[in-house]
Amino acid sequence: NFWNAAFFDKETSYLHFPTFHGELSADISFFFKTTSSSGVFLENLGIKDFIRIELTSTRVVFSFDVGNGPLEVKVESTVPLNDNRWHRVRAERNIKEASLRLDDLPVATQEAPADGHVHLQLNSQLFIGGTASRQRGFRGCIRALQLNGVTLDLEERAEMTPGVRPGCPGHCSSYGSLCQNQGRCVERAAGFHCDCSLSAYTGVFCQTELSASFKPGTSVRYTFKEPYELTRNSSALPSSIYSDTTLRGENVSMSFRTAQSPALLLYVGSYYREYMAVLINKHGEKASSLEVRYKLEGNRDAEVLRSSSIIAVVIFVVLTGLAVAARYLYRRKDTYRNQEGNAVKQEDSPDFPFNNQTDSQNLSSENPTEYFI
């Protein structure tokens, strides 16, 4: 019911419902969003009595007549109300007084006459988003409309009414800020949700941290089974994570918080004696740096990438295609040497195959898949 909404795209469009029965008391609440400066949200008429809620410039006006003459309750906003953001309205009326609340502004009240009529007698249809005269109609969205605790199904009625569409677009413009910790707001036909896939958080609003606290000497280990190793060892653990056979590179990102230096943050090793390590290295008493050490197959020594800045509270490590390019060049160089050893002369040809069929078969049996994580 909270996201049950209708979009009025013309001033002459409206929804109609059965007569509102609020003879002695009325409790009306809803949300609205518009780019227009005026319009009638709700109206129900009687022979002389009526009840109406409307927008006029920066004010919301709640007016009614039970036979004692029109009575108005107004709330003035300090900011424009046609800002295409959701605003909440709640209007109440009983035999003693009437009140009106707009967003978090102070409640406006108006006392009823001490002597006079108290029954609100209505007999026309209830108009939402317009009036019986089809003038001063509302353009925008209305949702979560409740009358005396009963939610009106705006979407169902909008599906059969010309000029009115069920649902309302643009929820992220009002509620996108609720997505925390780099969560991304994603629109839905009836609401929105926060996409937390690019953050280290989960929950409805990406508010719950996904993390672990490590004591000295402790770690978490994951096993990525490689296809060649699986063919030799069929008793692989069912909980193992099987790697993608088309993988040629990997991006690693993390955030951490520690008071320890030096410290190993991440280590990845492969079946081919390759590895990558992310660690904190200490330089003096106060200075530290973040280092990425990696070794590719065929390299005798490990390469080191060192950060030049002091470690901050949160550091994101992104490894790009540098290592993949180095591996490709190494493989290309090795293939060229194999072709020279087999007396295959390709000096006059500007292009030559990356590998011949024999080399491919040998490589397939010895090293079927290349990995770098």
245-277 tens-digit pLDDT? 455 666 777 778 888 888 888 888 876 677 788
Q: How far apart are CA 138 and CA 32, in angstroms?
A: 10
Both tokens assigned to 358: 């024999």
Our CA angle for 4, 105, 168, nearest 5°, is 20
Percent of the chain's residues with pLDDT above 70: 69
pLDDT in tens, 59-80: 999 999 998 899 999 999 999 9
- Decide: 81 and 53 in contact? Cβ < 8 Å: no
Looking at residue 319, what is its pLDDT?
44
Q: Is residue 362 predicted with pLDDT exceeding 50?
A: no
- Mean pLDDT, range 48-57, rounded to an integer: 93
Say how many Å lie between the first and final Cα of the chain, rounded.
47
Dist. CA 264–CA 306, nearest whole Å = 14
Residue 339 has a pLDDT of 52
pLDDT for the residue 189: 67
At 108, give phi and psi (nearest 5°).
-100, 135
What DSSP character marks residue 113?
P
Total length of the chain:
373
Q: What is the pTM of this model?
A: 0.54
Same fold, 5-167 and 170-213: no
Which H/E stretch holds residue 230?
A: helix 227-232
pLDDT tier at 209, thresholds 50, 70, 90: confident
Span of 21-35, 55-69, 224-238, 313-327 with lowest mean pLDDT = 313-327
Please tell me the distance from the alpha carbon of residue 242 to that of residue 238, in angstroms, as a whole number.
10
> Which two three-digit tokens encode residue 227?
């296809």
Q: Can you give the residue ranges of every domain in the chain? A: 5-167, 170-213, 257-331
170-213: which CATH topology? Laminin (2.10.25)
Distance separating alpha carbons of residues 143 and 29, to the nearest angstrom:
10
More confident residue, 341 or 222: 222
Mean pLDDT for the chain overall? 77
Q: Residues near 198 by Cβ (< 8 Å), separated by ≥ 6?
A: 182, 183, 184
Q: Quick one: tokens of 94?
A: 């009983």
Query: Residue 318 has what pLDDT?
Result: 40
**The listed CATH number (3.30.1540.10, 2.60.120.200, 3.30.420.40, 2.60.40.10) that belongs to domain 5-167:** 2.60.120.200
For residue 365, is pLDDT > 80?
no
| Region of residue 182 (phi > 0: left; psi between -120 and 50: alpha; otherwise: beta) | left
What's the count of helices (H) and strands (E) in the chain, helices before strands? 5, 24
